[in-house]
Structure 1
Amino acid sequence: MIQSLKVLILALLLAVLLLVVLTRHVPGFQISSVLVLINTLTGTGSPAELESIPDQLTISEGFELTLFADNIPNARFMKTTPTGQLLVRSPKTGTVYLLADTDDTDMADERIPLISGLNRPHGLDIFQDGETSWLYIAETHAVGRIAINWSTASTQGEYQQLITDLPDTGGHWTRTIQFGADGWLYLTVGSSCNVCEETDPRRVAMMRYRPDGSGEQIYATGLRNSVGFDWAPWDNRLYATDNGRDRLGDNFPPCELNQIEAGGFYGWPYINGFGDLDPDFGQRESAENKAALLAKSIPPVFGFRAHNAPLGMSF
């Protein structure tokens, strides 16, 4: 045991030495927290959750924060059903839950696992096809659907995977979907890395499909990780959040809100934020290519703080 402890201490010291060297000699490499370093080296992860999470949050005047439901592991993204219930994804357990407040206490008293056994479900949307109401689910590698009777909160028939070959290796595992007013199903897939040139054109892109999963089109590109998107109700323009890259310091580049245009290119991995050439990829291009990239890239309509990681959005 003593020998194992000595080995661990030596490994920690060598790791710290390596990180010090990287910080001093690699541009943009920073260690912003000693706790992050310790957690990374020991594998302990983040500090344990506090008992009263809402007490850590602040809200604007006129808003109120209450607990609606708990015991939803890794709850992520929500969708209201046609009957006023709430769908919540649990990627960690591969389950989509339906929550209902049947006794009007402003807390969910029903927690129904609608469908389980999924591969990190994230995006959800509902599509009405005649008398059939379909629940569409975006898994990391696929998009599927299942018919739902909302009045009885029950599924009908089998879950059908419509799109089955989405890239699922590397980073940024979330897949967000939403139907547009044009009847197409829009889907975003983030990058496989912090910064690189992707080989699969469906990475760092927004795509769209017919409701049956056919007719794949790449709608917009250069979006490093657009997790949330929605259409403005006053003019039906499409907007999407985008997470900027890491390892360029604590204050750069900004995360983004982009107005998405059909065929638009939004810069990544060559351009960050408002026309700044990336030091790893944009700066290495020839003067002619730099000019062409800058001319082609559409800048964001708003810049968030660096590493702010904007995710879901809704009008």
Structure 2
Amino acid sequence: MIHLSRVVLGVVLVVAGAYWTVTRLEPSTELDEASRRIRLPPGFAIRIFAEGLEGAPRMMSVGPDGQLYASLMYGGQVVRLPDLNRDGRADRVEVVTGGLELPHGLEWHRGWLYVAVSTAVIRLRPGRSGWERETVITDIPGPSGHFTRTLHFGPDGRLYVSVGSETNFGPERDPRRAAILRFNPDGSLPEDNPFAGDPDPRRRVIWAEGLKNSVDFTWTPRGELWATHNGTDHLGDDLPPEEVIVAVQPGGFHGWPYCYTPGLGLNLKAERSEVPDSRTQGFDCRKAVPALFTAPAHSAPLGMTWARNSHFPPAYRDSLYVAYHGSLGVQDPAKYRDCKVERFVIQNGLPVRSETFATGWRLPGQMCREAWGRPVGLVIGADGAMYVSDAQGGRIYRIWYKGQVESP
């Protein structure tokens, strides 16, 4: 069941041969709670696009129809959130499919909506009698431990799927965990995978490993794969530094659980430090790929997006944006991590520095798990605005630049 504020009518429509479960919303033109709470750079504005979304909205994708689709992870649903009157608010919520086990990552590709669930990847498309559904991959390691699964299609047309670790400190029993996997769109094995000839058939789908929990990833304008990474817990408030951007190398081992990248900010040194734990002894950290950009421990970077297709000013359009979830692993209240959206300034293909883009979901001294909201996913919509999902608050926000796009 999905509940939304200002619900006035529930109906079932048939659109392009597909059946939609619909909840209608009254239009609203007033400033809302997000407008009052969230702080943005001058010229930007924020508004709640959809709210009352039960089941934890997580990742989003823009469909070929120009509308927003989102996963409701704990609700087991994928929903469509059209804004046909272009007032900056979802007109209604349309349930595309339900009954899924922990749906998370989703992306449109060649007419299909691919969805990553806990142990599989399915794909959907509207047909004459409803949504057609196919299972593409059936044997992704199960939902124990870090259970979110994120997928994206790369510039090479291959399907990439991130799988989190089973525990907070490995090693993994299944080599496909704490890794990014690579498939053909139909779920078959690409012949050019780094480990395609490995004797262990489970390793053949691995693209990169040693990534405890890469909740999201993207490709740079140069075609490089960058991923967020949530590292080892239980080493104190300051270790290890959070690896916000990892330049993922095909066939590379990126350090978890044995090594971490020292220092904060842009890292151009090819060095790793050993995690101070007896279970890491004997591993040579010189063999691990270091992170490209780090932040204070337990920042919990999740969703990421480029703003190239936005209607932001040019300086902001060329940046990368990352949602910080604000981890639970900090004991000192003075070091509680913020839940926010961070902007990364890119120069010569490198993230040279970061600055806060959107903040205000939590009060001073408050942990993010107790805050009004907690950002997760980011995507640029067909209207050039940025959409931010909030699994804790059950909302999706719309951020736009008033200087270039007329406010709704």
For this structure pair, what is the TM-score category when the shorter chain's length is used for normalisation? 0.7 to 0.9
Contact 1:78 1:89 in 2 (8 A): yes
Distance 1:230-1:172 versus aligned 2 partners, 3 A rule: same
Residues in 2 aligned to 1:206 and 1:241: alpha-carbon distance in whole angstroms: 12
TM-score (norm 1): 0.75
Aligned match for 1:310, one of 301, 307, 317: 301
Query: Which string of whole-angstrom CA distances, capped at 9 and with x for unpartnered residues, describes residues 265-293 of structure 1?
Result: 100011022312112256522xxxx4xx2
Aligned match for 1:141, one of 105, 119, 129: 119
Alignment-mate amino acid for residue 294 of structure 1: C
Alignment-mate amino acid for residue 90 of structure 1: L
- The runs of 4+ residues in structure 1 deviating greater than 6 Å are none
Residues in 2 aligned to 1:252 and 1:245: alpha-carbon distance in whole angstroms: 8
Distance 1:206-1:283 versus aligned 2 partners, 3 A rule: closer
Distance 1:283-1:176 versus aligned 2 partners, 3 A rule: closer
Residues in 1 aligned to 2:153 and 2:79: alpha-carbon distance in whole angstroms: 21
Residues in 2 aligned to 1:281 and 1:141: alpha-carbon distance in whole angstroms: 32
Aligned match for 1:263, one of 251, 262, 272: 251
1:126 is aligned to 2:117: no
Where do 1:1-315 residues align within 5 Å? 52=33, 55-73=36-54, 74-128=56-110, 133-148=111-126, 155-157=130-132, 159-215=133-189, 217-233=205-221, 235-256=222-243, 257-274=245-262, 275-281=272-278, 283-285=280-282, 290=283, 293-315=284-306
2:145 partner SS: coil
Query: Which string of whole-angstrom CA distances, capped at 9 and with x for unpartnered residues, describes residues 39-76 of structure 1?
Result: xxxxxxxxxxxx94664432222321101111212111
Residues in 2 aligned to 1:172 and 1:55: alpha-carbon distance in whole angstroms: 34
User: What count of residue pairs does the alignment treat as equivalent?
Assistant: 250
Contact 2:237 2:298 in 1 (8 A): yes
Residues in 2 aligned to 1:167 and 1:217: alpha-carbon distance in whole angstroms: 12
Contact 1:136 1:144 in 2 (8 A): yes
Residues in 1 aligned to 2:150 and 2:131: alpha-carbon distance in whole angstroms: 24
Contact 1:114 1:155 in 2 (8 A): no
Residues in 2 aligned to 1:62 and 1:273: alpha-carbon distance in whole angstroms: 36
Residues in 1 aligned to 2:131 and 2:91: alpha-carbon distance in whole angstroms: 23
Greater shift, 210-219 or 298-307, is seen at: 210-219
Identity %: 40
Q: Point out where structure 2 has 5 or more consecutive residues left out of the alignment.
A: 1-31, 190-203, 263-271, 307-408
Residues in 2 aligned to 1:251 and 1:218: alpha-carbon distance in whole angstroms: 31
Contact 1:91 1:122 in 2 (8 A): yes
Distance 1:68-1:185 versus aligned 2 partners, 3 A rule: same
Q: Which has the higher contact order (CA 8 A, sep 6+)?
A: 2
Query: Which string of whole-angstrom CA distances, capped at 9 and with x for unpartnered residues, describes residues 84-119 of structure 1?
Result: 100011011100000011122111112100011100
Question: What value does the CA root-mean-square deviation take over the aligned residues?
Answer: 1.9
Contact 1:269 1:281 in 2 (8 A): no
Query: Which string of whole-angstrom CA distances, capped at 9 and with x for unpartnered residues, describes residues 224-266 of structure 1?
Result: 1001100012x11110000011111111111111001111110
Contact 2:214 2:230 in 1 (8 A): yes
Alignment-mate amino acid for residue 276 of structure 2: P
Q: Point out where structure 1 has 5 or more consecutive residues left out of the alignment.
A: 1-50
Q: Which has the higher helix share?
A: 1
1:295 partner SS: helix
Query: Which string of whole-angstrom CA distances, capped at 9 and with x for unpartnered residues, describes residues 129-177 of structure 1?
Result: xxxx11100001111111236xx9x9542x2112112112421110000
Residues in 1 aligned to 2:62 and 2:49: alpha-carbon distance in whole angstroms: 14
Residues in 1 aligned to 2:255 and 2:105: alpha-carbon distance in whole angstroms: 24
Residues in 2 aligned to 1:78 and 1:61: alpha-carbon distance in whole angstroms: 26
Residues in 1 aligned to 2:36 and 2:86: alpha-carbon distance in whole angstroms: 24
1:264 partner SS: coil
Contact 1:183 1:211 in 2 (8 A): yes
